[in-house]
Structure 1
Amino acid sequence: MAPQDAVLGWDDDTTAEVYAAFTRAFPMYGATSRDLAHRAALSDADLVIDLCGGAGATAHAILERVPRDAAVLSLDSSTAMQRVGRRTLIDIRLSWITTSAENLAAHVPTASADAVVCNSAIWKTDTTAVFAAVRHILRPGGRFVFNVGGGFAGVRHPDEQSTRTGPSLNTLIHEIAARDYGYTPPPAGTSSPKLPAETIAHRLAEAGLTVLAMDVTAQHSTMAEKKAWLSIPVFARPADGFTHAQRMQILDAAYALTTPETPTITSWLVVVAQRPGGSP
């Protein structure tokens, strides 16, 4: 089953608007989307699925790489996110389908897709069901390309530790919340990865998909971008027991202790899998 905390809050107009504005103003989602689209080998694709596509940041990167006569389907369960996407990303090759990732096979003909691409969101799904659905709709040789945040996957790029020059913004948020609101942060090192790399590999194999690559990459950004990301309601911290206004007050206080251009690193596990029967 999908994690219970993964789907809450996404079908909200404010979240959708703030999230979409972030993808336009900061490079993280654009850069990760272009990386996934590159790995998906889309130059000759006829049909590509943007899975958990949100407001269309990844669909935009896919459209830049597919042929002019290709079709791109962006699937997401949030009507609010797709409402923003339909308004801001208009392309005759792109169709929007409001449905869950687990329901993918009901909307795509069997063995018809050249690639399925999912940026940042696969951990929110029932991966056993989704991987099986992806296998069902991919043509032989078709690729399934997705990424998982390093913390969720239990991996860390070497640059993430070597680049750090002080406490992370998340650490400062917890310290401010503890100081000003009596918040008790969870003990360090007690949380387990939501979707470990080993689990991903096992479930892909169970679904009949062959892993071509599992790479740990580093996304370089700044403290200012991190603050903007944590301003999106579904990402605001601490997670429980606070109003959004309180979270933003805590975030502002924590950010005031940093320098906007301080470099930050986000680790990603990037996975390329393939339905057997075609060329890698």
Structure 2
Amino acid sequence: MAPQDAVLGWDEDTTAEAYAAFTRDFPMYSATSRDLARRAHLADSRLVVDLCGGAGATAEAILELAPAQARVISLDNAAAMQRVGRRTLTDPRLTWVTARAEDLADHIPGPADAVVCNSAIWKTDVEAVAAAVGRVLRPGGRFVFNIGGGFAGVRHSDEQAARIAPSLHTLIRQVAAREHGYAPPPAAYTLPKLPLEEVTEHLASAGMTVLDIEVVAQHSTMAEKKAWLSIPIFARPDGDFSHEQRMDILTKAYALTTPDTATVTTWLVVTAQRPREQR
């Protein structure tokens, strides 16, 4: 089952507009999208799926690497995100489909050369998604996706080395505790939500072979982290706070940092493939 809180809030205009603005103003999503698209080996592709494609940042990276004859389908269940994407990404090779990731196989007209999913597989029923991807990929087709290090329970050495000063998340919790009596959730909630072992089991059950697993580091700044946490769906802390309260807490926490301080985020990148047919 998909996490209950993972599907809430995405189909809202305020989230969609803020998310799209972030992808234009900061490099995180464009950089991770280009990385995944490169790993998908798109040079000879004819049909590529951008799964949980949101406002189209990953579709744009796919279109840059795919050949002229390729078609790209960006599938997402949040119509608000796609409305924003349609305004800015008008390439005739791109088709927008509003549907759940788990229902992928019901909306793809033919075998896909690759399925790419950036930063979003954690909010799906991964077992059902893997099964659907396994059905739509052609033999030899690739499924490339990433998982945030916190969700996967991994950490890049660069992130470990960067943990000298308190993170913005830590400062947010401290401000919330001081001014609102906030208490963080029990430690059990910090356990990995999507460990690699679970992911590989789902891929194997869907008939796919894991080609590569890499823990990578995404480098950014405290200013970029603040902008990301300003998106309503990502705003912290959890609990009974209004968005205005969260933004006030964020502003006060950010004031305790230096904007150009380097920050590092860990990603677990997985490349899987449907086996080629045996002759």
The TM-score normalised by the length of structure 2 is 0.98
Between the aligned partners of 1:134 and 1:192, the Cα distance in structure 2 is: 27
1:64 is paired with a residue of what secondary structure? helix
* Residue in 2 that maps onto 1:275: 274
Aligned amino acid, residue 12 of structure 1: E
Question: How far 1:190 sits from its partner (Å)?
Answer: 5.1
Distance 2:8 2:75 in 1: 17
1:246 corresponds to which residue?
245
Structure 1: which 4+ aligned runs deviate by more than 3 Å?
A: 187-190
* 8 Å Cα contact 1:142/1:278 also seen in 2: no
- Pairing 1:200–2:199 present: yes
Q: Secondary structure at the match of 2:194?
A: coil
5 Å-filtered alignment, 1:220-239, equals 220-239=219-238
Once the two structures are superposed, what CA deviation does each residue of 1:70-127 show, in whole Å capped at 9, x if it has no partner? 10000000000000000011101000000000110001135x1000000000011011
Q: Which residue of 2 aligns with 1:46?
A: 46
1:26 aligns with 2:31: no
Aligned equivalents of 2:188, 2:170: Cα separation in 1:
13
| 1:208-241 alpha-carbon deviations (Å, 9 max, x no partner) | 1100011000000000000000000000001211
CA distance in 2, matches of 1:69, 1:273: 24
Aligned to 1:171, the other structure's residue is in SS state: helix
1:219 is matched with which residue? Answer: 218
CA distance, structure 2, for counterparts of residue 205 and residue 69 of structure 1: 31
Structure 1 counterpart of 2:79: 79
Q: What's the counterpart of residue 104 of structure 1?
A: 104
Q: Distance in 2 between matches of 1:48 and 1:214?
A: 21
1:30 CA displacement = 0.4
CA contact (8 A) 1:164 1:263 kept: no
Amino acid of the residue matched to residue 70 of structure 1?
A: A
**2:122 — aligned with what?**
123
Structure 2 residue identity aligned to 1:132: A
The range that moved more, 180-189 or 198-207, is 180-189
Aligned partner letter, 2:107 = H
Deviations 1:194-214 (A, max 9, x none): 100111111111111100011
How do 1:157-168 and structure 2 match up within 5 A?
Answer: 157-168=156-167
Opposite residue 155 of structure 1, the aligned amino acid is V
| One-letter code aligned to 1:101 | A
Return the alpha-carbon distance in structure 1 between the equivalents of residues 168 and 187 of structure 2.
15
Pairwise CA distance, 1:189 = 7.0
The whole-number CA distance in structure 2 between the counterparts of 1:149 and 1:167 is 19
SS at match of 1:156: coil
**Counterpart for residue 11 of structure 1:** 11
C-alpha separation in 1, matches of 2:109 and 2:9: 31
> Contact 1:221/1:263 (CA < 8 Å) preserved in 2?
yes
Count of aligned pairs: 278
Tell me, what secondary structure is at the counterpart of 1:5? helix
Q: Work out whether 1:67 is the aligned partner of 2:63.
A: no
Question: Using the alignment, how far apart are the partners of 2:98 and 2:14 within structure 1?
Answer: 18
Q: Which amino acid aligns with 1:69?
A: Q
Percent of aligned pairs with the same residue?
Answer: 70
SS at match of 1:102: helix
The one-letter amino acid of 2:36's match is: L
CA distance in 1, matches of 2:45, 2:144: 14
Please state if 1:140 is matched with 2:139.
yes
Deviations 1:23-63 (A, max 9, x none): 00000000000000000000110000000000000000000
Shift of 1:159: 0.5
Question: Residue 187 of structure 1: CA displacement?
Answer: 4.7
d(CA) in 2 for partners of 1:189, 1:52: 28
TM-score (norm: length of structure 1)? 0.97
Which residue is equivalent to 1:88?
Answer: 88
Greater mean deviation of Cα atoms: 46-55 or 196-205: 196-205
